């Protein structure tokens, strides 16, 4: 295995400064190719006499392109290509194979092994230089693209961390749990670079807690930008968070003015009243809220209908109530867990809820979903996954967990 101190193919300052390694066991062929390259203006040239010599030279010369003879003693060109293509630092190195073989099978084997191009001996100067120019230009473009992706990914990773900071912090969750004798658990898995989902909580009194979950249409950066906007608006209107109808009206009327045509958001916002044992909420086409009774192994389904936010100004969003006694859990979630079976064995639509409640066997919803997601390794979902579970504890026994 090659042991290189820096990436092979790190781009030279000038096109004609490109490092070219010529590998051929015949001295005459090496000299001929070198003369062609020197006459064209290439300056950084190195030769290797066979496959083993080539692998050694690569470790110190770091070529931008290799011209490789196919038929050589001890280690032929095919073996060299296969070794190089297995190395992550050199797998994109352009390799032009030169061969006198006319049989299509050998040429096909070279392509299948990872050759970038195949040229037939005797080598013609203009053809060789043209093939080198094409491969170097492609390599430069590929390197620029990889550099751009590296920079873009760093920016996206930082943006995702900022976006996660919009969610309730572990300290806030622990504080709310202690104050209201509840256990708050959450699961947040963006489908790609950034998420169009966001959720939050607002403590609005000694016996009340507001909770909301929003899903913007689309994915990626555009949807994520809307989550920042909504979080700002929530803070602006938090003074009316004790009235779900008032805050959803305010949010809708503001989003109508800023959302581009064709884009919208689904939202559910509600208030948990720990004295009245009620969850009062309103919905803008969100998934139906669930009240889960672990001991009874059943779910009660709420109403998630309503016009999405940002579509039509001054819509009517009626209030709904659900009994939420001690020992029960409020479950809010994004539509990935409703519309599809992206997580094996998990689907929260009305048809599957009864059987799912029995499969839970008294365990928490998020506990089960998290286990299933974990079995998938590093899942890539078709949509963002957000799941919130607020469990009312029968006594003062707090164990809050929040996974962002």
Distance CA 398, CA 4 (A): 53
pLDDT of residue 8: 46
Closest CA relative to residue 48, chosen from 63, 293, 235: 63
Distant-in-sequence, close-in-space partners of 269: CB < 8 Å, separation ≥ 6: 210, 211, 212, 241, 244, 247, 248, 281, 282
* Structural class in CATH, domain 15-156: alpha beta
On the question of a cis peptide bond just before residue 122, with omega within 30 degrees of 0, the verdict is yes
In angstroms, what CA-CA distances link 165 with 91, 159, 199, 277, 380? Answer: 38, 10, 11, 30, 22
DSSP assignments along 180-195, one per residue: HTEEEEEEEE-SSSS-
Quote the tokens at residue 365.
């919803």
The answer for residues whose C-beta is within 8 angstroms of residue 104's C-beta and 6 or more apart is: none
As annotated, the residues of the chain forming the CATH 3.40.50.2300 domain(s) are 15-156
* Distance between CA atoms of residues 294 and 358, nearest Å: 9
In the 8-state DSSP scheme, what is residue 178? H
Q: What's residue 5's pLDDT?
A: 46
Tens place of pLDDT per residue across the chain (404 aa): 455 544 444 555 567 889 999 999 999 999 999 999 999 999 999 999 999 999 999 989 999 999 999 989 889 899 999 999 998 888 889 999 998 876 777 778 888 889 999 998 888 999 999 999 999 988 888 888 877 777 777 777 787 788 888 899 999 999 999 999 999 999 998 876 778 899 999 999 899 999 999 999 877 778 888 899 899 999 999 999 999 999 999 999 999 998 888 889 999 999 999 999 999 999 999 999 999 999 999 999 999 999 999 998 888 899 999 999 999 999 999 988 876 677 887 888 888 889 999 999 899 999 999 988 887 877 777 788 899 999 999 865 545 555 55
Task: Outline which parts of the chain fall under CATH 3.60.40.10.
Answer: 165-392
* Cross-sheet strand order for the sheet of 290-293: 182-189, 385-392, 329-333, 290-293, 298-301
What is the model's pLDDT at position 151?
77
State residue 54 phi and psi, 5-degree precision.
-60, -45
- β-strand partners of 117: 96
CA distance 299 to 354: 7
CB distance 47 to 22 below 8 Å? yes
Are the C-beta atoms of residues 63 and 46 closer than 8 Å to each other? yes
Other CB atoms within 10 Å distance of the CB of residue 392? 19
Q: DSSP labels for 92-150?
A: T--EEEEE----HHHHHHHHHHT-SEEEESSPPHHHHHHHHHHHHHHHHHHHHHHHHHH
Q: Are 20 and 44 in contact (CB under 8 A)?
A: yes
Please give the pLDDT value at position 396. 57
* Coil/strand/helix, residue 161: helix
Q: What residues have CB less than 8 Å from 99, skipping those under 6 apart? A: 69, 70, 71, 77, 106, 107, 110, 118, 119, 120, 121
Cα 5 to chain centroid distance, Å, stands at: 30
88: DSSP letter: T
Classified as helix, coil or strand, 56 is helix
The CATH architecture to which 165-392 belongs is 4-Layer Sandwich (3.60)
CA distances from 318 to 79, 163, 237 (A): 71, 30, 19
Sign of CA dihedral 234, 237, 240, 246: negative
Predicted TM-score (pTM) of the model is 0.67
**Residue 111: both structure tokens together:** 């392509």
Residue 314 backbone dihedrals phi, psi, to 5 degrees: 55, 55
Q: What are phi and psi of 147, to 5 degrees?
A: -65, -40
User: How many Cβ atoms sit within 10 Å of the Cβ of residue 356?
Assistant: 19
């Amino acid at each position: 295995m090659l042991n290189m101190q820096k990436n092979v193919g790190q781009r030279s300052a000038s096109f004609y400064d490109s490092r070219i390694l010529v590998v051929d066991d015949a001295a005459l062929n090496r000299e001929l190719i070198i003369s062609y390259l020197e006459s064209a203006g290439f300056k950084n040239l190195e030769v290797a006499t066979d496959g083993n010599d080539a692998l050694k030279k690569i470790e110190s010369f770091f070529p931008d392109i290799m011209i490789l003879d196919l038929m050589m003693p001890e280690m032929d060109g095919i073996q060299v290509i296969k070794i190089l293509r297995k190395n992550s630092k050199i797998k994109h190195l352009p390799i032009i194979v030169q061969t006198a073989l006319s049989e299509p099978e050998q040429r096909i084997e070279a392509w299948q092994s990872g050759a970038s191009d195949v040229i037939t001996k005797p080598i013609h100067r203009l053809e060789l230089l043209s093939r080198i120019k094409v491969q170097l230009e492609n390599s430069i473009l590929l390197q620029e693209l990889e550099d751009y992706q590296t920079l873009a990914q760093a920016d996206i990773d930082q943006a995702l961390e900022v976006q996660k900071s919009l969610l309730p912090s572990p300290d806030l969750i622990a504080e709310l749990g202690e104050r209201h004798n509840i256990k708050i658990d959450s699961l947040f898995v963006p489908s790609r670079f950034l998420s169009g989902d966001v959720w939050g909580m607002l403590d609005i009194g000694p016996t009340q807690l507001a909770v909301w979950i929003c899903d913007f249409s689309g994915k990626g950066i555009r949807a994520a930008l809307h989550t920042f906007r909504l979080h700002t608006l929530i803070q602006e209107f938090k003074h009316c968070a004790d009235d779900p109808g008032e805050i959803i009206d305010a949010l809708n009327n503001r989003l109508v003015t800023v959302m581009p045509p064709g884009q919208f958001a689904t939202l559910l916002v509600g208030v948990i009243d720990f004295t009245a044992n009620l969850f009062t909420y309103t919905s803008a086409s969100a998934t139906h809220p669930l009240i889960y009774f672990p001991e009874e192994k059943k779910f009660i389904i709420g109403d998630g209908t309503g016009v999405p936010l940002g579509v039509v100004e001054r819509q009517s969003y009626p209030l709904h109530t659900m009994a939420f006694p001690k020992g029960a859990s409020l479950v809010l979630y994004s539509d990935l867990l409703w519309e599809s079976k992206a997580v094996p064995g998990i689907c929260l639509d009305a048809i599957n809820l009864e059987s799912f409640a029995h499969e839970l066997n008294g365990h928490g919803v998020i506990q089960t979903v998290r286990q299933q997601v974990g079995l998938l390794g590093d899942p890539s979902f078709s949509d963002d996954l957000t799941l919130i579970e607020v469990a009312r504890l029968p006594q003062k026994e707090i164990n809050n967990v929040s996974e962002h």
